[in-house]
Amino acid sequence: MPKEVQEDNPNTQDNNDDLYERFSFKTDKGQEPLRIDKFLMNRIEGATRNKLQQSINAGMVLVNGKDVRPNYKVKALDEIIVYSDMSPEEMEIIPEKIPLNIVYEDNSLMLINKPAGMVVHPGSGNYSGTLLNGIAWHLKELDPQFKEESLPRFGLVHRIDKNTSGLLVIAKTDTAMRLLAKQFFDHTIRRQYVALVWGELQNDEGTIIAHVGRHMRLRKLFEAYPEGEHGKEAITHYRVLERFGYVTLVECVLETGRTHQIRVHMKYIGHPLFNDDFYGGDKIVKGTVYAKYKQFVENCFAICPRQALHAKTLGFTHPETGKEVFFDTELPEDIKQVIEKWRKYTASR
């Protein structure tokens, strides 16, 4: 079962790809009446009154299982659950005409197949050209009256790395945001990734369990902590799809959603992702380094100049209809071409 974030835990949002954390509190018997935003500001690191009020208005704060208004005053033995990202205030998102591969869209949500190389949301060093800039343009085209600030993060509930391709779900209403965020937290979202990794895995399937957190010295990197001394719980299930001797095609199913989780977990078991420049996959990890083989690998790197990882499927309960929905995508051309090259290389040996 997923663990709830207790009130004495530090905020660990920066190592979570599922953007919404769940904070759980229970007031004591002597709790004096106090506005809920003031109560929560003292208990959630990084929270601001403005962001809390936005969360309350969006139905992301439940007291005793029910929505409340911002002026609600907590009382003794209230049970409070907060679904919120609690990240720093958003920077302005300027609509930009960027092509989007929209797999599905209705009034509640949209599914986008993100290409490799595209950043999901603006941040340091990436102020334009992001997925959210393109979504802002798209929503303006649909409704000229659309206000950029009308949805927190434009409905972004989760994210994938810049150089990972694949499916993202975007909420278009506050209700969809809340219900999708809850599904991500409760780990009921079904998502499958396909990755090409170095080496030949010993078993056809397995489960990797090791906390994932920031590297103690290199803060841009994440690390596996199998003893759980740092980071947050992370669980990845894998299954071999095809073997090519020096590399293996695998399917990865996430039980948790930590930043770089698959990349870190596969490195941890000795099988970094093919051409992953952060975690050692951008050099020859398996195979004898002779000229012809080295040239073959470099040609593969040129075809797929990023980690060979694709978020292939996404399934969840639709927040409006209550029905189970499931979406699947084809592998992108760069990964398909590299797989085919390895398939031919293996067959010729």
Q: Which of 17, 37, 85, 161 is catalytic?
A: 161
- 8 Å CB contact between 128 and 96: yes
Q: Which residue has the higher pLDDT, 326 or 215?
A: 326
Structural domains in the chain?
Answer: 13-84 (3.10.290.10), 102-185 (3.30.2350.10), 190-348 (3.30.2350.10)
> What average pLDDT is seen over the chain?
87
CB atoms near residue 38 (< 10 Å): 12
- 68-81 tens-digit pLDDT: 998 999 999 999 98
Percent residues over pLDDT 70 in the chain: 88
Angle between helices 333-348 and 291-303 (to 10 degrees): 160
Active site annotation includes 161: yes
Percent residues over pLDDT 90 in the chain: 59
Select from 336, 317, 194, 173 the least CA-distant residue to 266: 194
Exposed, middle or buried: residue 318 (CB in 10 Å: 0-12, 13-18, 19+)?
middle
179: enclosing H helix or E strand: helix 174-185
- 1-14 tens-digit pLDDT: 233 333 333 233 34
Q: Measured between alpha carbons, how far is 18 from 41 in angstroms, rounded to an integer?
A: 22
Q: Looking at residues 281-299, what average pLDDT do you find?
A: 93
Query: Looking at residue 197, what is its pLDDT?
Result: 98
Q: Looking at residues 311-323, what average pLDDT do you find?
A: 96
pTM of structure: 0.81
- 8 Å CB contact between 78 and 26: yes
CB atoms near residue 58 (< 10 Å): 20
- 26-59 tens-digit pLDDT: 999 999 999 999 999 888 877 788 878 878 887 7
